[in-house]
Structure formats: C-alpha cells, structure tokens
Structure 1
Amino acid sequence: MVDRGTGQDRQTVGAGNVLGSAAYDMGSGEIARARGFVRDFLTDARSLHGMAVSARAMDVTQLVVSELATNVCKYAPGPCLLDLEAGDGMLTITMWDTGSVLPTSRQADPTRMGQHGLEIVLAVCESFEVRREPVGKRVRVEISLLDGPQGEPAGPAAW
C-alpha cells in the first residue's frame, strides 16, 4: 500500500509475528503520519491477528513513535525508515535515519523547556538500543503490549 509518497507494508511471518514497514521523507507532517501508521498497525494486529494490545500500549507506542520521529525531523531531516514487529506480547520499533549523531539523554531538569523526548522514551520502553550504521543510525526500542494486574507493562522490567 502506498500513502502519498510514503511506502507502507504489513505482513505476517512465522511464529505469528506481524511486521510493518514505512518510509518517510521526514518533514513535520510526517510525524502524524508515522503515529497513524503505528496506530493502524496495532489495530490490525489486534483485530486481524488476535493479538492482545492494551490501551496503555496503544497510547505509549504512538507517543514513542512521535518522539522518535520528532528527533528525526529536528536532527536528521531526510529519509527515514520505520519498522514494526509485534509478537509474544512485545512490539519492537526500529527507526533508521541519515543522522550520524547518536541521541543522548540529558540529566532530568524540570525547569528545562523541551528536549525531554529521549527521557520519555527511556521511561516507557522495556529496552532501548541505538547504533551507528554505514549511513546514519538505527534506534530500536521494545514496548510491552500487555498490562500487568495494576495496569503496568507486563513482561521484562522497564528501565
């Protein structure tokens, strides 16, 4: 499926995992498009493939993709690839961009205006990994799709 110059694809692979990919030329309007892609992906994973996806996971996933896409727009404008893989109660989000500078978290400062995106991502994801690529960098995060008894993410311990 193609959406206004943004290539998007979804498929199911062995072991019941569902994969999705999208390519963007990261301008500010693409942030909402990336957020919508992950929302549609999880909705399809739930309704078409019977995966459990909590309301918390749906919200957190859109927030994380929005923060990652915002960083691409600010620091590495240009092409961006978004890969999603859902299975075994987890969602893996991988975002590649052309920027060579690796993101770093800053010390928490409630008086600082802005630049809290990475802090948010680290707080809500089960894992976070960033690596340089021959061109650009790749950020990979995992989010639990399931909730524990008190509404917290089920699965591996969060940061």
Structure 2
Amino acid sequence: MTPDPQPLVSRRAVVAAGGLGAAALAVGAWGTWQAVGRSSTGGASFAEPPVRRSADGLLDVVLEAAPGVTLAGRSTHALGYNGHSPGPTLVVRPGDLVRVTLRNRLDQATNLRTHGLHVSPTGKSDNVFRVVVPGTDTDYEYRIPDDHPTGTF
C-alpha cells in the first residue's frame, strides 16, 4: 500500500487565506464608503431627478437624449436625458395620456421603451422597431389603461 500524497496546501493555510481575504474585503469596502462620504461635491448628497406629473389626464414632456450629463456636480461624457442621469421621473395615473417628444442628440440611433407598462406595442407607442436617427425629434404617445396597476416602471 502506498501512503496518501501530501496536500499541496494545508487546511490551516486555506483557512488563514480565507480570513485574510475577508479582512481585505472589509477594509476595501470601508475605504470605498469613506471615499464616497468625502466626494468632490463636499459631501453633498446626490440630487433627486426632476419630477414631471400629469395634470388633467395628460403628461406632455420633452426628453433630450444627449451626452454631457452632470453627475455628482461634475460634467461628464455620460449619456442621459435633459442633462441628467437618470432622466426625470414621470408620474402618471391610470387613464392618463403620456406624450413624449424624444430629441436624439446622440451620434447614433436610439428609441424609447417602457418596461412594465401595459401599453400598446404598435404605432407611436412602445414599438421596439421605431428608430430615432441622430439629430431628429420623434413623438411617442402612451395611453395608460384605466385598470393599470400601480408600481414603479
């Protein structure tokens, strides 16, 4: 009978390495938390996006898709809507009509999609095949059903 081969790494070494890894993760997380607390905005909190609310059953809004948004008080090359990322919060109610003019100021084609809204996928609504070419404006229209459930979409 041959003796069992010696393991390449002892169980004690594996446990010690795991403990060191957990400690390194904790120190890294703490350092990140501290760095975020001392951001270049002087510790100011991130601003909530602007809110656009429907009135009398209608929300009419313009969204300009473009680079150059401001994040944490700094100008960036990031993409966003109306100079912000995320874009505005749209608040509507069941039965409302939502009209959106999308201004594409990107250097590539884009479109709008709703995720979770129970709206038509055809025509000027939530149509995945619509293409908004650079430098153009396109109108969208969404009729929110009267029986639409509440939620964040």
Structure with the larger RCO, 1 or 2 (CA within 8 Å, 6+ apart): 1
The TM-score normalised by the length of structure 1 is 0.30
The TM-score normalised by the length of structure 2 is 0.31
**Higher-helix-fraction structure:** 1
**Higher-strand-fraction structure:** 1
Larger radius of gyration: 2
